[in-house]
Every structure is written in structure tokens, then in C-alpha cells.
Amino acid sequence: MIYLDYAATTPLDKRVLDVMMPYFSELFGNPSSIHRFGQKAETAIEEAREKVAKILHCRADEIIFTSGGTEADNLALRGAMMARRDSTKWLLTAKTEHPAVSKTAIQLEKEYGFLLEWLDVNEHGEITVESLSKAVCNNTSLASVMFANNEIGTINPIADLAQVAKANNILFHTDAVQAAAYLDVDVSKLNVDLMSLGGHKFYGPKGVGALYVRKGTALIPNQTGGSQENSLRAGTHNVPYIVGFAEALRLAVEEREERTNHVKPLRDHIIGNVLETISDSKLTGHPQNRLPNHASFVFKDVDGNLLLQMLDSAGFACSSGSACKTGNPEPSEVIKALGYSDDWALGSLRVTLGKDSTAEHVDSFIKTLPSLIEKARKLSNHKTSN
């Protein structure tokens, strides 16, 4: 099998595993315990926090460790909106966001009475300064815009958007879960108030993430109990995972240029070949301003889920934005937001590369894909005619 789904998850880096291992066994203490076992675990947590803070260019006490990017997004949105519920009501976000943001926003509207406005995106799935500026009102509390889109790879102008929010006294959150593997997540440059990260997108462990919370930003905790994480995230710390998260992020920053230079030519080879050799194919997302490892397409009159099954049988692991609900395929909200009709939107394909991807992997993929697309079209047309 050739793995081409690094946006979904990455394998754990052996170097990360090595720093995690002692905290599963001899250094097993609870960081909340006063004795020496607890002190060693607490030291590991705080060293990890300092390591992450140094990368983000923020204070260590502005880093809140979570169970992953989803929890970080939930804490950012729900926590910030609930903390400001007596003064401001509007939440701004886009339908191109990860469900961890979009579904949280919908719940805040339906269950808690907040007001939700969906930001417009352009044909590349990009949130522009004009789009945000147009949506802002005196009663806006929070804007949430992802740094880089997980499905189509588009990179948003976060620093410019955050400046609009700041000028209007609005909190600004960005989901940087996909971005952190390849983009600069320096919060002093981005000027964001809240930023979510997830460890398994940059060769760290699954089940751990972090939320940057600018000092002075009020949040209501989602999870109550002990006083861990500045009383914003109760529960005994997952010490080995937090240690692994920090080391994986350090390596991602240290090796960013090398990793980018490795995947970008491979990505460009895929994009150029697919668009040239496969009829009725379109690149989704921004043609240039996109993640360096990310290629995504729509193919007319193709069932994306069927295509994934064919690719899997042929030895390739990829993904699609479409989902099957009650037996009927439906295009993703992201692809629909770009304005594609169903005959295009249902045929989405995401191909994402990583540090273990090779030119041989890519050549094998682009050699195999055209015949699978042709076969999938024939099967789709057969279903339609019947």
C-alpha cells in the first residue's frame, strides 16, 4: 500500500516515540501529586509547555494542552462565546471550516441562542479581508477562520483577517491543525487571540493537541473538575502524549524547509499530470496559495467513494470530501461552498504527501489514476441510466 493521506493523519516519528517511552513506565507519576514521582511528571509537562511556547512566540501560561484539535476548537469557540454572552452575540465562521468548528458554531446557535453568520468564500475557498469586514457588526464576539483548509489545501490570510478583528474589538480564532506541519505558527506575527493545534498532523501522537489563549482572553471551560491547565481543561495530564506533542512540533519547525522542499515538487507533478491527462478534472482550492503537500480535485460524473475503493484495491490510500448518508452519497460542505454542482462535487479526491512519500509513489499513482477514473465514470453512468 502507498499512503497518500497525510492530511488525515501521519505516522508517529520514531524520534518522538523515543522521548515518550519513559513516561509510560518508570516516569509514570501524576503531575498533580506532590511527591517526587509527581514532580518529575510535572517538570516534563512544563518543559513541554515551554518548548511549544517558544515555537509559538508566546508565554508558557498561554498554552493549554487538550486531547486534540477538535477539543481545542470546541474550547475556543464555546469557551469564548459563553464568556462574552452578556455583551456580544454574533459568531462569524465559514462552511469551509472543519466540522469541529462548523458544528460547534451550529450548536451555539441552536442550543445556546447565539447568532451565527457564515462568511463568504471565493472560488478557491478563501476568506478575504473584504468578506470578514462586510460581516462585522457592533455585536460580533468572535471570528473563526482556519489557517489552511484540510480538504482543499487553501491557505487563508490569517494575519490580515486578525487585524480586521482587532480593529473591531473582536476575538479571532484560527484552526491551525493542518497548517502547523508546514506554515509558521508564530502568534506574534499572526496576531490571533486563539489558535488550535493537533499532534498527529505533524508526526506526533493521536489524542493530544493544544490551544493557544492570549493572556487576558476570557474562556468558560468545557470540562470541569481539577485545576489542571489554568482550570480550563480538567483531568489528569496525558504526560507521554504531551511530551510527544512538543517534540513533534519542534521537529516540524526544525525540518520545515526540508520537508517542504521534498513534498512540493511531488505535489506539483501530481497536479500537472492529473489536469493534463484526465478529462473533466479540476483542481480545488487555490492554485498557488495552498499547502505544499496538498493536491485536491473534482472529477465530473464520478462517485468519489467508489473511486476511493478502487484506489484502495489498487494499493493507494487517499481520501474524499464526500460522505455517504442513509445510503445516498452527498458532497462535502466545503466542495458545495465552492459552487460546484453535484455532478462535479460528488467526485472529489484529496491526495496528500508526507516526508516518506517518494517520486516512485507519485509516478505509480498518476499512472494508475486515469484508468480508475474512466472505470468509475462508466459505473456511475450505468447506475444513472438504470
Domain 256-385 part of CATH 3.90.79.10: no
The per-residue pLDDT for range 5-33, each reduced to its tens digit, is 999 999 999 999 999 999 999 999 999 99
**Helix/strand/coil for 137:** coil
Which pLDDT belongs to residue 151? 96
The two beta strands, 63-66 and 209-213, are antiparallel
Is 324 a residue of the active site?
A: yes
Over range 224-247, report the average pLDDT: 95
Q: Which H or E run includes 343?
A: helix 342-345
Instruction: Tell whether the model's pLDDT for residue 187 goes beyond 50.
Output: yes
Which pLDDT belongs to residue 380? 75
Domain limits, the chain: 14-254, 256-385
Backbone φ and ψ for 281, nearest 5 degrees, come out as: -125, 145
Backbone φ and ψ for 370, nearest 5 degrees, come out as: -55, -40
Burial class (CB in 10 A: 0-12, 13-18, 19+), 243: buried
The per-residue pLDDT for range 56-114, each reduced to its tens digit, is 999 999 999 999 999 999 999 999 999 999 887 999 999 999 999 999 999 999 999 99
At the topology level, CATH places domain 14-254 in: Aspartate Aminotransferase; domain 2 (3.40.640)
CA dihedral 132, 135, 141, 144 (to 10 degrees): -40
Instruction: Tell whether the model's pLDDT for residue 245 goes beyond 80.
Output: yes
Query: From the candidates 58, 137, 318, 324, which is the catalytic residue?
Result: 324
Q: Per-residue confidence at 325, pLDDT binned at 50, 70, 90?
A: very low
CA distances from 215 to 185, 198, 221, 230, 347 (A): 17, 21, 15, 11, 44
Mean pLDDT of the chain: 95
Instruction: Tell whether the model's pLDDT for residue 385 goes beyond 80.
Output: no
Choose among 145, 140, 88: nearest CA to 120: 145
The alpha carbon dihedral of 115, 121, 126, 130 has a sign of: negative
Which pLDDT belongs to residue 324? 40
Out of 83-87, 188-192, 199-203, 302-306, pick the least confident. 83-87
Which pLDDT belongs to residue 383? 63
The per-residue pLDDT for range 276-324, each reduced to its tens digit, is 999 999 999 999 999 999 999 999 999 999 999 999 999 999 998 644 4
Q: Assess whether the region 14-254 and the region 256-385 belong to the same CATH fold.
A: no
